[in-house]
Amino acid sequence: AEDNAGNREGDVSLEDRSITFGIDTRKPTTSAPYATSARRGTTATLKYKVEETGAFGPKANTVTIKVYKSGVLKKTLKYTNKAVNTLQSAKFTVPGTWKIGTYVFKVYATDDAGNAQASVGSNKLVVK
C-alpha cells in the first residue's frame, strides 16, 4: 500500500536494522475556537487551529477557510504548509459591499498524506 506522500507499508532492512513503515490514515482535526467581528472595509482576523497526530511533520498540507452568509459562499482563503497544533490567524479585508450581520466561517484541512479533516471547525464572523 502507498499513501499520497509516497510512503509504503512494509519492512525495510538496512544492514542489521529493520525499519517498519506504516500508512498515515489519521485525519487532522480543525477548530475555530473564537467568534470575531469586523467593520466593513476593515481587516477581519479569523482564528483557527489544525491538530495533527500523523507522522509527516508539523505542517498541514492545505488549509481552506470559507466564509458563508445564509449558506451562500462569500469568500475563500487558501493556505499551504501551515503549522499544526498551534493557534493560527487568517486575515482578509471585509468588502464594503457585504451586508451587516452574522456570517459563518468554516475551516477545512488536509495533511501531507492526503487525509482530509475528520470534522469541520466553524464559528461566527459578525460584520458591523
Q: Print the SS3 string covering the chain.
A: CECCCCCECEEEEECCEEEEECCCCCCCEEECCCCEEECCCCEEEEEEEEECCCCCCCEEEEEEEEEEECCEEEEEEEEEEEECCCCEEEEEECCCCCCCEEEEEEEEEECCCCCECCCCEEEEEEEC
Buried residues in 71-99 as b, exposed as e (16+ CB within 10 A):
eeebbebebeebebeeebebeeebeeebe
Per-residue pLDDT, 24? 73
The angle at the Cα of 91, spanning 86 to 97, to the nearest 5 degrees, equals 150
pLDDT in tens, 26-76: 889 999 999 999 999 999 999 999 998 765 566 888 999 999 999 999 999
- Residues 89-108 have a mean pLDDT of 98
- Number of Cβ atoms within 10 Å of the Cβ of 5: 16
- Residues 104-120 have a mean pLDDT of 91
Q: How far apart are CA 93 and CA 99, in angstroms?
A: 14
Per-residue pLDDT, 117? 92
pLDDT in tens, 11-28: 555 565 666 666 777 889
- The model carries a pTM of 0.80
pLDDT in tens, 66-82: 999 999 999 999 999 99
